[in-house]
Amino acid sequence: PELIGTEGVAGGPFGEVAFLVEDVDAEAERVRATSAAILSGPVDRPWGHRTLHVLDPDGHVLEFAQEIPRQGVRGSKG
């Protein structure tokens, strides 16, 4: 899959903080009302998450993930 993110803040190390949420689409609507930028999503991932990646005003990448049925994975339910 594609890499999500940007260069490190002020040339420093790169990382992201992830939050497990009930409704990624609702989080996307909430983010659109702020000064944060959506980098990707919401999008369904084959490993069983629907994700949204956001760049906050300070340059930090935040991931919001919602559990969904896995797609095309052997032994998965759904």
Mean pLDDT of the chain: 82
Q: Model confidence over 49-71: pLDDT tens digits?
A: 999 999 988 888 999 999 998 87
Spell out the domains of the chain, with CATH numbers in brackets. 15-67 (3.10.180.10)
Residue 11 is predicted with a pLDDT of 59
Answer for the pair 49, 42: CB distance below 8 angstroms, yes or no. Answer: no
Amino acid at 26: A
pLDDT band at 72 (very low <50, low <70, confident <90, very high): low
CA distances from 12 to 7, 47, 56 (A): 8, 30, 16
Beta strands 37-45; 16-20: pairing state: unpaired
Size of the chain, expressed as the number of residues it contains: 78
Residue 41 predicted with pLDDT over 90: yes
